[in-house]
Amino acid sequence: MTSRLFTKNKRVILYGAALAVLLFLLKWLEFHFIIINNAYEVYIGAIALFFTLLGIWLALKLTKPKVQTIVVEKPVYINDVSGFSPNLRELERLNLSRRELEVLELMAEGLSNQEISARLFVSLNTIKTHSSNLFDKMEVKRRTQAIEMAKRLCIIP
Amino acid sequence: MTSRLFTKNKRVILYGAALAVLLFLLKWLEFHFIIINNAYEVYIGAIALFFTLLGIWLALKLTKPKVQTIVVEKPVYINDVSGFSPNLRELERLNLSRRELEVLELMAEGLSNQEISARLFVSLNTIKTHSSNLFDKMEVKRRTQAIEMAKRLCIIP
DNA sequence: TTCAAAATCACCCGAAAGTATGACCAAAAT
DNA sequence: ATTTTGGTCATACTTTCGGGTGATTTTGAA
């Protein structure tokens, strides 16, 4: 830590050194007058205190402020009602026909085959055929599984 | 910055003071021997350097790093199971029993009654009873409708 | 302890779902 | 022109689902 400080800021070192030399000279001038009064300890203590504070000041002033970065992940829930974008890749991969997708969507709404056939104006048997093909393509066995998979793959909202 | 440092860490101040006093005593003992050699300036310089370094060390060691909080928005998709909070109001309103809720969840996973009964180690008839009661409470006619409603009410993920 | 709700299971029956197969037709691709 | 594909429909059959009813046991709270 300290070494990094001294290797990086050359200007700082020169500044500190110059200040130290200046103080040194001042001391040398005052030395004899103060020393005579037998106040050696006080003098040494004052110097120690001063340079301690100088060191603290130097460190605080001239080091880059320590920054501890805390990354807080804020979950943003995606509202399915407003902006639903179907997973086109999966949709393409499954290779469902238009009609099959229609049937799948109505299934997911909880309609029975009978109701779906009425909605699409076709016979019950047709819906059965579609759903059967649907299950084959999605590799599932039941309509509930088809719904689960479709929701998981984001094919339907 | 400096005042905060001194007001907060009393232990640090005592530590520094003790160290200073100790050094002071050492100097006082050595004082006369070194002073005699007319090396005052060197002695003063050494003390200045030492306490400067001490101050720097203190400042670097004991300052608290500034905390910078960065909030990163993380998209969470609806089928993320980890952050799912069930709608407790609706759950309470429907007044489903524990078992019925279990059955509902397994239904939504696409399991048949047979598979659910195997999963819960009960008979098929028990599952039928549960599902029947479930449909009554949810006021639906089919399992697919129950699933659709449960998802819409955020009872299950 | 008592009582109600919950959980368990059984049987029957009809409805719905799903499988398998085949057929027809039209549009699109080859 | 032929093949492929998607959509339609049908029959026959099996499985699953769901309703209705009734019964026993467990359990939790008053």
What average pLDDT does range A18-31 have in this prediction? 59
Residue B20: its pLDDT value, please?
A: 62
Q: % helix / strand / coil in chain A, to the nearest 5?
A: 70, 5, 25
In total, the C-beta contacts within 8 angstroms joining chain A to chain B are 187
Which nucleotide has the shortest C1'-to-CA distance from A141?
C18
Task: Express each pLDDT in B47-104 by its tens digit.
Answer: 777 777 777 777 766 666 666 666 665 544 444 555 566 678 888 888 999 999 999 9
What is the phi/psi pair of residue B122, to 5°?
Answer: -130, 175
Give the mean model confidence (pLDDT) for residues B13-26: 60
Q: How far from the centroid of its chain's Cα atoms is residue A55's Cα?
A: 38
Mean pLDDT of chain A: 74
CA of B62 to C1' of D14 (A): 80
In three state form, how does the secondary structure of chain B look? CHHHHHHHCHHHHHHHHHHHHHHHHHHHHHHHHHHHCCCHHHHHHHHHHHHHHHHHHHHHHHCCCEEEEEEEEEEECCCCCCCCCCCHHHHHHHCCCHHHHHHHHHHHCCCCHHHHHHHHCCCHHHHHHHHHHHHHHHCCCCHHHHHHHHHHCCCCC
pLDDT tens digits for B111-140? 999 999 999 999 999 999 999 999 999 999
CB contact under 8 A, A48 and B145: no
Instruction: Measure, in angstroms, how far nucleotide C24 C1' is from residue A143 CA.
Output: 28
Name chain A contacts of B108, Cβ cutoff 8 Å.
Answer: 144, 148
pLDDT of residue B133: 94
Contact B69 A74 (CB under 8 A): no
Task: Give A74-119 pLDDT, tens digit per residue.
Answer: 554 444 444 566 678 888 888 999 999 999 999 999 999 999 999 9
- Closest Cα to residue A48, out of B24, B10, B2, B41? B24
> What is the distance in angstroms measured between the alpha-carbon CA of B30 and the sugar C1' of C11?
108
Top pLDDT among B42 and B142 is at B142
| Chain Cα centroid distance, residue B94 | 34
Beta-ladder partners of B69: A70
| Per-residue pLDDT tens digits for B108-117 | 999 999 999 9
pLDDT band at residue A4 under the 50/70/90 scheme: very low
Strand-pair partners of A72: B71
What pLDDT is attached to residue B115?
94
DSSP 8-state code for residue A136: H
Are the Cβ atoms of A78 and B73 closer than 8 angstroms? no
Are A110 and B140 inside 8 Å of each other by CB? yes
Residue in A closest to B141 by C-alpha: A110
By percentage, how much of chain A surpasses pLDDT 70?
A: 53
Q: Does residue A148 carry a pLDDT above 70? A: yes
**A70 pairs with which residues across the strands?**
B69
> Which residues contact residue A80 at a Cβ distance below 8 angstroms, ignoring those fewer than 6 apart?
A157, B78
What whole-number distance in Å separates Cα of residue A52 and Cα of residue A111?
82
pLDDT of residue A3: 47
pTM of the full structure: 0.58
Mean pLDDT, residues A107-136:
95
Please list, residue by residue across B117-130, b when 16 or more beta carbons sit within 10 angstroms of its beta carbon and e when fewer do. beeeeeeeebbeeb
Asked whether B27 and A44 are in contact (CB, 8 A), the reply is yes
Probe site for chain B from A1, A5, A28, A51 (most B CB atoms < 10 A): A51
pLDDT surpasses 90 at A135? yes
pLDDT at A34 over 60: no
